[in-house]
Structure formats: structure tokens, C-alpha cells
């Protein structure tokens, strides 16, 4: 029997949290404090929840958004565990790490205009959380110029996203205003 809270499938979200925690075990963010990586996907899902996004598949995808990119997880594995919709959302926001960084960054800009509604939400939440992190607790080896370049690149990605969620768009603007 599928358990829900209201119309939300909470077990799906909790399973995604458990899965992502295991997959990101031992990974840390680039900040000086080496924050456990799992805090980043949790921040995305929390942000989405706070602005009224209560779709379990979108929240699960937010939690899982870096598993294909940063762990040995495959699309097939996500599809088997979370369903095709979640796996496809994660795939939409995943970079191919085999490509050079400059190519990946340009592809994010180019692809932003073609994201599905759910992927737009995850992408925007990711950019907001990343800008907040770069502003408040930047990677130790990132000089001010690199931080500024990151902000400009994130803005270029977000500008290409059509039909932005109004609250997320406002939060992005607030985060961008903290540009170093």
C-alpha cells in the first residue's frame, strides 16, 4: 500500500534521502569546513518545500540530483528504485563529467531553456543553494574572481530557464545580490 501525507508520497522522499546519504557517504563540499555533501541535496529539497513545491517526485529528484554525476549511480538504478519520472528528472540536471568543464558549463546554459517543469525547479533550487554557499562559505581555494565568475555563470543558466517559479526566481535574485 502506498503511504502518503496529504497527496504526497513521503516514503519516496525518505527513501531518496536514505539512498543519497549512502551514495554520498564520505563526500564533502569544497568549503573550508568540508561540510558533509548530503547537506546540499537536503538544502535543495528543503528550499523547494518552503516555496510550496510538495511534489514527491520533484523533492526526491532534488535529493538525488547529484547521484549520477558524482557517484557510481546509474539512470537504470534510479529508475528501478524510484521510478522513471524521478530518474529522468535527475538525468535532466546531470552533467556528463567525461566532458571538459567549459563544455559542461556551456551545455547547462544551452539546455536550461529546454528543461521540464520539474527539472527547472531542481535546477533553480540548486543554483540558489550553490550561490548561497559560494557567498557564505566559499571553497577555500576559490579567489574572489572565481567566485564572481561562478555567480555570472549561474545567472546565465537561470536567465535561460523559462517560466520560472516566482518565489524561486526571487530567491535566486536575493542570492545573486550577495555576489562577492
Rounded Cα distance, 79 and 63, in Å: 15
The pLDDT of residue 5: 57
Rounded Cα distance, 134 and 131, in Å: 5
Known catalytic membership, residue 69: yes
Instruction: Note the pLDDT tens digit of each residue in 82-93.
Output: 999 999 999 999
Which of these, 51, 137, 63, lies nearest to 93 by C-alpha position? 63
Task: Delimit the domains of the chain by residue range.
Answer: 10-176
Percent of the chain having pLDDT more than 90? 93
Annotated catalytic residue: which of 69, 77, 88, 95?
Answer: 69
10-176, what's its fold?
Hypothetical protein af1432 (1.10.3210)
Task: Write down the mean pLDDT value for the chain.
Answer: 95
pTM of the predicted protein model: 0.94
* DSSP structure string for 59-128: HHHHHHTTHHHHSS--HHHHHHHH-HHHHHHHHHT---TTS-HHHHHHHHHHHHTT--HHHHHHHHHHHH
Cα 179 to Cα 32, 127, 139, 146, 168: the distances in Å are 19, 13, 14, 11, 17
Which three three-digit cell numbers place residue 140? 577555500
User: 178: helix, coil or strand?
Assistant: coil
Annotated catalytic residue: which of 18, 33, 57, 70?
Answer: 70
The pLDDT of residue 1: 34
Amino acid at each position: 500500500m502506498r503511504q502518503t501525507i496529504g497527496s504526497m508520497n513521503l516514503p519516496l522522499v525518505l527513501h531518496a534521502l536514505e539512498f543519497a546519504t549512502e551514495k554520498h557517504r564520505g563526500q564533502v563540499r569544497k568549503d573550508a569546513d568540508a561540510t558533509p555533501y548530503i547537506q546540499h541535496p537536503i538544502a535543495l529539497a528543503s528550499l523547494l518545500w518552503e516555496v510550496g513545491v510538495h511534489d514527491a517526485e520533484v523533492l526526491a529528484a532534488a535529493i538525488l540530483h547529484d547521484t549520477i554525476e558524482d557517484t557510481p549511480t546509474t539512470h537504470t538504478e534510479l529508475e528501478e528504485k524510484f521510478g522513471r519520472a524521478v530518474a529522468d528528472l535527475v538525468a535532466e540536471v546531470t552533467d556528463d563529467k567525461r566532458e571538459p568543464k567549459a563544455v559542461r558549463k556551456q551545455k547547462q546554459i544551452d539546455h536550461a531553456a529546454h528543461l521540464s517543469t520539474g527539472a527547472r525547479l531542481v535546477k533553480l533550487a540548486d543554483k540558489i543553494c550553490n550561490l548561497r554557499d559560494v557567498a557564505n562559505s566559499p571553497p577555500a581555494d576559490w579567489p574572489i574572481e572565481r567566485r564572481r565568475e561562478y555567480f555570472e555563470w549561474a545567472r546565465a543558466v537561470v536567465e535561460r530557464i523559462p517560466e520560472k517559479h516566482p518565489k524561486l526566481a526571487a530567491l535566486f535574485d536575493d542570492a545573486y545580490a550577495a555576489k562577492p
